[in-house]
Amino acid sequence: MTRTKVLEKGPLRASLWVELASGASRLELTFFLGHEARFVRVEARLLWAERAARLKLIFGGAGDSATFEVPGGEVLRQATGEVPGGRWVRVESGFVFASDGLYNFDLKAGALRATVLRSAPYACNPPAPAAEAPWRPRLNLGEHRFTFALGARGVDPRELATRLEQPPAVLFAPPREGPLGRAGSLASLSPGPRLLALKPATDGKGWIIRIQNLDTSVARLTWLGSKIALGRGKPFEIASWRLFRRAGKWTAGRVTTAEEELSHPTSRSTS
């Protein structure tokens, strides 16, 4: 560690800048802690100039197992060497690691180790020690930026990962009158399911909503003021519904991913 500086120290947020150096490389970490937040967000800027080297972030006290996000679900793994992972990891001791760009991990001596990069030779070049053929390029040299967060025990890892992957977008627009109210919502889902798609139906008849169930809770949708119970699904199941108006009320019917009807609409709705 070479330098530190407190950047913000207010009632709602504090931030600390830390610089670490090794060899010809340096890593800058800016830690952000919000008021009553149960996680710390870290913005990283890496200037990497090492050859034949790998960089890992090491977090001690993790334990001997961890749950990793994988495509379509999650998996519990023991210490089995370096493994691929998704946007988040929940370790045995309880804390959560999430990021917007790190997807390789290993557990060693009770620590979670996240691989940032490795400066190996390109596949078209023969293997060689770092000091040989310095004119040949190496992978991942240069500047890299990524963000990660550490959450306390009980923090929802999916929500934390989404905060990093899809931060709120702020648009400035001049005020003017319009047909809608000053506040409102097009649609919202109850806690549990994950929204994958919301789009007009291909044939122009209604809308298509596609979700993934993350547990066995009943998925409930609020759509243009109407409350619709989508039903209970299996964990990690992906399901689609067509939304349409019937007798002045919005209702939903299950469809396939090709938007073909599975059965007659049975979902209840209330205005």
Does residue 201 sit in the same domain as residue 149? no
Query: What are 131-169's pLDDT values in tens digits?
Result: 888 888 899 999 999 999 999 999 999 999 999 999 888
Which string of b and e fits 177-189 if b means at least 16 CB within 10 Å? Answer: eeeeeeeeeeeeb
Does residue 192 sit in the same domain as residue 161? no
Pairing relationship of beta strands 104-108 and 187-189 according to DSSP bridges: unpaired
Does residue 157 sit in the same domain as residue 212? no
Please report the pLDDT score of residue 150 as a whole number: 98
- Assign 226 to helix, strand or coil: strand
Mean pLDDT by 10 residues, the chain (271 residues): 97 98 97 97 97 95 95 92 95 96 95 95 84 88 97 94 91 86 86 90 94 88 90 88 89 91 56 42
Does residue 148 sit in the same domain as residue 226? no
Task: Output the pTM of the full model.
Answer: 0.83
Residue 174 domain flag: no
Please report the pLDDT score of residue 24 as a whole number: 94
- In whole angstroms, what is the distance from residue 158 CA to residue 86 CA? 10
For the chain, the domain total comes to 2
Q: Where are the beta strands (DSSP E) in 12-121?
A: 13-22, 25-34, 39-48, 54-59, 65-70, 73-78, 83-84, 88-91, 96-99, 104-108, 111-118
Please report the pLDDT score of residue 263 as a whole number: 60
Please report the pLDDT score of residue 9 as a whole number: 97
Do 32 and 41 touch, CB atoms closer than 8 A?
A: yes
Please report the pLDDT score of residue 23 as a whole number: 93
Does residue 141 sit in the same domain as residue 222? no
Closest CA to 191 of 162, 171, 150: 162
> Which of 165, 198, 231 is where one domain is finished?
165
Residue showing tokens 């992978």? 139
Q: 101-106: long-range contacts (C-beta < 8 A, 24 or more apart)? A: 101/146, 101/147, 102/57, 102/146, 102/148, 105/66, 105/68, 106/79, 106/81, 106/82
Does residue 114 sit in the same domain as residue 229? no
Please report the pLDDT score of residue 61 as a whole number: 94
**Domain housing 69:** 3-165
Does residue 72 sit in the same domain as residue 115? yes
Residue 229 domain flag: yes
143: domain CATH number? 2.70.98.30
